[in-house]
Amino acid sequence: QVAPSHHAAPLHPADAPLREWLSKEVPEPILEPDLPIVDPHHHLWDYSAIPALSPDDLDHHIPKRMDFFAQKVYLADEALEDFAGRQADRHNVVATIFAQCGSFYDKAAPEHMQPVGEVRRVREMAAEVAADGGCASSSLCSVRLAHGIMGTCDLALPREKLGEALDAMLRFPGFRGVGFFP
């Protein structure tokens, strides 16, 4: 069996250059199609307000800033299509672990609490998928999206503010810890 491009999901219009670039990807063989896999690190985001890159930009080193992400929107629908779409053509991803990526921050919250918004929104997306078939088919819903969540917060904060942020994140099912990326 061969897996098609990892990014076959319908993309946001701002992602058209990326779709064109990814269409050149060579499919990879699926070596053990029945092996259950937990994807230990994936992201969900919506940076659609940031201008899209041209295909030429994608062939060069892209700086590690959020405003340079080539794919502007990658939410539950896109992730589920990548993990479980056309099930016969995919690896057997059964669950995923979300890793923070600076999206969905609660800009109305105090600065030290803003990353809690990301954990909240990812948990909401995962709950929607788990609850109702918030996806196109039962095979897509078989993936436990964001079964675990790694958030972030500034570990250099004063103890009281750090504790407040961590306590808030700990209230969300699936939250497992933080990574700090200054």
Could you tell me if 140 and 90 are in contact, meaning their C-beta atoms sit under 8 angstroms apart? no
Q: Which of the residue ranges 1-5, 15-19, 64-68, 162-166 would you say has the lowest mean pLDDT?
A: 1-5
Q: Would you state the pLDDT for residue 66?
A: 46
User: Of all residues in the chain, what percent carry a pLDDT higher than 90?
Assistant: 41
Q: Could you read off the pLDDT of 52-84 as tens digits, one per residue?
A: 555 555 444 444 444 455 677 888 887 887 777
Could you tell me if 55 and 17 are in contact, meaning their C-beta atoms sit under 8 angstroms apart? yes
Phi, psi of 92 (to 5 degrees): -90, 70
Q: Would you state the pLDDT for residue 160?
A: 98
Is a pLDDT exceeding 50 seen at residue 5? Answer: no
Q: Would you state the pLDDT for residue 65?
A: 47
Is a pLDDT exceeding 80 seen at residue 132? Answer: no
DSSP code string of the chain: -EE--TT-S---GGGHHHHHHHTTPPPEE-S-TTSEEEEEEE--EE-TTSPPPPGGGGGSPPPSSGGG-S--EE-HHHHHHHHHTTGGGS-EEEEEEEE--S-S--TTS-GGGTTHHHHHHHHHHHHHHHHHT-SSSHHHHTSEEEEEEEE---TTS-HHHHHHHHHHHHTSTTEEEE----
pLDDT band at 139 (very low <50, low <70, confident <90, very high): low
| Residue whose C-alpha is closest to residue 30's, from 76, 93, 81 | 93
User: Residues 115-128: what's their mean pLDDT?
Assistant: 95
Is a pLDDT exceeding 60 seen at residue 86? Answer: no
| Distance between CA atoms of residues 126 and 114, nearest Å | 20
What is the rounded average pLDDT for all residues in the chain? 78
Q: Would you state the pLDDT for residue 8?
A: 45
Instruction: Find how far residue 27's CA is from the centre of its chain.
Output: 22
| Distance between CA atoms of residues 36 and 101, nearest Å | 25
Q: Would you state the pLDDT for residue 79?
A: 84
Q: Would you state the pLDDT for residue 38?
A: 93
Tokens encoding 132: 């109702």
Q: Would you state the pLDDT for residue 151?
A: 97
Is a pLDDT exceeding 70 seen at residue 18? Answer: yes
Is a pLDDT exceeding 60 seen at residue 25? Answer: yes
Q: Would you state the pLDDT for residue 27?
A: 73
